[in-house]
Structure 1
Amino acid sequence: MLIAENVERRGEAEPDPVKKGRIAAFLKEYFGIKHGGDRSSGQNGNLKTTADIAETIGESEKTTRRLLKLNDLIPEIQALVSSGNLGTTAAEQIAYLTPDEQRLLLTIRGEDVVGATSVVEAKGIREQAKESRTTGESFEAVLQRAEDAERKASESNERMTNKMGAITDTLSTDITVITAEINSYKQIAGNAIFEIGRRLKHVKDNDLAYGEWGEWCDSIGIPTSTARKMITVYSKLSSGNRSTSNTLGLDALYLIATLPEEEREQAHTIPSTGESKTVDEMTVRELREVKKALKEAQERAEKAEQTVEQVKIFR
């Protein structure tokens, strides 16, 4: 009993997740807790659960289960966790790999890359290992495919950066040229909204983030609210007139995308100015005005229709 109490005190104060996981594993065995959280009388004669371990080491049940899973990591990856390079949530996902798969991962990617693995990336690696076991394809081949895809994406981004850098090294003194360049970049930026929206939709529709959509969006620096707007823009407007829409920003495109389809194709009168413009010609403020006016007109029409129906009933 004194040994257990000493271990409990160490568990509460231990800052190393791996060592804390070992303490949790000791308590699990000491308490007689079986796999899945079942419990038996154990050495101390009392029924215990994972919740008791969690309380003892000063963690939540969820965190305690994660710490226990760290015991399935090979020593080299445990060292990355202890040093603070690899987070415990990502490490938990890697712990679902077999020891041989973990060693292969380290061999192919190296300690620095594995240590910098995000939670979403770790879940991807776990799925790749699962794919390897299911299909019979070697885990090395599956990892290599993923590496090749990442490299191609990186090379594509580098080419785009170099191209844009070359364009902007020397600026013209001709205002006409500058204007044309700005419009060109506006076109590139507008097209990027559609292309990003297309890829976001693909990830969401096919659950490529493995149930961690919001977390994945955060990892690429796109708030989920912005991601939803981009998906809406792509879904609603990609088949329409992209040549004009490409010069608009996300807010304007989203306002246009959320208009009824028939309203996108015609000119509207701006309430505050009386001007007639198509939606592609409007500013964000003007689009909001028009949307509000259309909504109010629809509500008036629905109210009038209800009044007519009520009159018919009382006749």
Structure 2
Amino acid sequence: MRTNPADLAVRVRGLRKEYGDLTAVAGIDLDIARGETFALLGPNGAGKSTTVEILEGYRHRTAGEVSVLGADPAHARLDWKARLGIVLQSTGESGQYSVREQLAHFARFYPNPRDVEDVIAAVGLEKQAKTRIGKLSGGQQRRVDVALAIVGRPELLFLDEPTTGFDPEARREFWKLIEQLKAEGTTILLTTHYLDEAARLGDRGGVIVGGRLVAVGHIDELGGAEARVPVVRWRDESGAPREERTQRPAELVVDLARRFGGEPRELEVIRPSLEDVYLGLVHAAGSKASAAELVEEGELA
């Protein structure tokens, strides 16, 4: 990972957020390169939203150093905020304006906005352009959120559970849009519970549990080589389930066939997916609810 500050969109050192005796974020270090898509993963209450809100400038930190696009979010000015695009977990847009009216209104806030009609087409809302936002379905309102976040050509785009409410086809269309933004050089910080989405869009990722980053790396290398060792499963002569992790699954399968005089029952070779690695990391770190869970559920202000 590059460490030259000029190459970084986000640089975090020793980030902490505390509420009295409760610790929501417990000393995170993180670098995100310009033009990179970084997937921040973790169970509910792990501290993801608290961390992202600090980076966005919406929540003050207790300790640590934070630089986002070269500025401290706690003291950044309005011109800095104009360089960000933010998609929150839930929509908060007024329902009395049409999609086109709302986008045109927001576009006037930025020095070099995207063409409103191009943005409407990019999020697949051409047929709903004249429809009041309050009349749209939940998934369509989510697309409006995305449209509002990208109309200003942000340098850094925060996507917090962006495809919640999307059907499978809409999710894939959204992925194409994000890949287009990536190709244009937009830096993206993605939080998602859809691990296939993280695998598809992420360049690198991190897993946060209990307010701590327990793994950071290329999305295909999270957890290290040991976490991705294949598993061979079968049932023995008594019908009991057996499994063995091995770097040479083909050799083990051949050996089992010799021992059993043929293929053993329910033989399968499993190569761990990102979901398998993620669940293993969460389990190993201990997925206990922390103060972050209270914060994200609204029990702490």
TM-score bracket for the superposition, by shorter chain length: under 0.3
Q: Which has the larger radius of gyration?
A: 1
Relative to its length, the structure with more strand (as a share) is: 2
Relative to its length, the structure with more helix (as a share) is: 1
TM-score normalised to structure 2 length:
0.24
